[in-house]
Amino acid sequence: MKNSTKIQLGQHGPFVTKLGLGCMRMSSIWGGVTPDETESIATIREALDEGINFLNTGDFYGAGHNEILVGKAIKGRRDEAFISVKFGAIFHNGHWLGMDLRPIAIKNFVNYSLTRLGIDTIDLYQPSRMDDSVPVEDIIGTVADLIKEGKVRHIGVSEITADQLRLANRIYPISALEIGYSLADRQIERELLPTARELGIGVVTFANTAEGLLTGELTAPLAENDYRNHFTRFQGENLLHNLEKVEFLKQLAGQKGCTPTQLAIAWVNRQGDYIMPLVSMSRRSRLPENIAAMDIVFTTEDMNSLNATFAPGAILGGTYLQR
């Protein structure tokens, strides 16, 4: 196995690779074009070849398309893959309608996921966020029942508050917290990250480049049809200000002989042994760059400069990551 660095999910949970593969972008969620399926499957298989075993999907990604795709990719290789599935979000015609976290719905969702994935047990099962419409006790309790039935191995949570995380962990040991985290989105450092660490819960972080802001490839203004125009972070003076901050990331990347994207992933990786960067990709060509990011070493001066330049609040405007 090439990528042998591991992270433990939960105090007594499983060990998985420190770099996770997010499969979301291999399907159309908001009604856009679906990426080439052959290339997506090849990407998953090559990730497995490289030793990356954490695969993240959701039953609402492409109305089940993503789970079917992942199922095809892991056929004959089930033992090499750790499958993480999110549930609960309801979409119609590419539009988000809300959440359904009722116990009866969860019991229905899991059976469809198992069928689409072609597996008997989901390794990590988690509500995609909590919306207060159903008590946390009912949500976590239902997934705990699925563990007893052998349909699920471990429970995760996503888009949750520190208080909700404590409550969920009291009901049943939580293995992983999935949450957005990047140099541009550091609000979880106040309460959520310390709580997860205290409870021994692994943290799976998505959006490490903050919707592409930290890639160093954005210019202002964005194209009219760019979905990011809906977010204040990418609008007008906010975007101009934020791109000035990214210039420092580009300069440091140049000095270290890497890309701004790699630096953004590496910074998240260095925030703790209990934190996993979950990187979404749908092309094999992205794998080497993202894998190499895990080996980037920061000096104390590098880290201090990054933390000062991207201090909480330094990036103006918000996205759906704002909590």
Indicate which residue of 61, 125, 181, 274 is catalytic.
Answer: 61
- Using CA atoms, how far apart are residues 108 and 174, in angstroms rounded to an integer? 22
In the chain, DSSP assigns E strands to 6-8, 15-17, 20-22, 54-58, 82-87, 89-92, 95-99, 122-127, 152-158, 174-180, 202-206, 275-280
97-132 in b/e form (b: 16+ CB < 10 A) is: eebbbeeebbeebbeebbebbebebbbbbbbbbbee
Inter-helix orientation angle 260-269/300-309, to 10°: 100
Burial classification of residue 167, based on how many CB atoms lie within 10 Å of its CB (0-12 exposed, 13-18 middle, 19 or more buried) = middle
Query: Tokens representing 100?
Result: 């359904």
Burial classification of residue 62, based on how many CB atoms lie within 10 Å of its CB (0-12 exposed, 13-18 middle, 19 or more buried) = buried
Three-class HEC string of 32-85: CCCCCHHHHHHHHHHHHHCCCCEEEEECCCCCCHHHHHHHHHHCCCHHHCEEEE
- Contact indicator for 176, 124 with CB cutoff of 8 Å: yes
Q: Give 45's contacts (C-beta < 8 A, 6+ positions apart).
A: 73, 77
Q: Is 320 a catalytic site residue?
A: no
- Contact indicator for 79, 53 with CB cutoff of 8 Å: no
Work out the number of other CB atoms within 10 angstroms of the CB of residue 272: 14
- Using CA atoms, how far apart are residues 174 and 202, in angstroms rounded to an integer? 9
Query: Tokens representing 270?
Result: 């260095």
> Known catalytic residues?
61
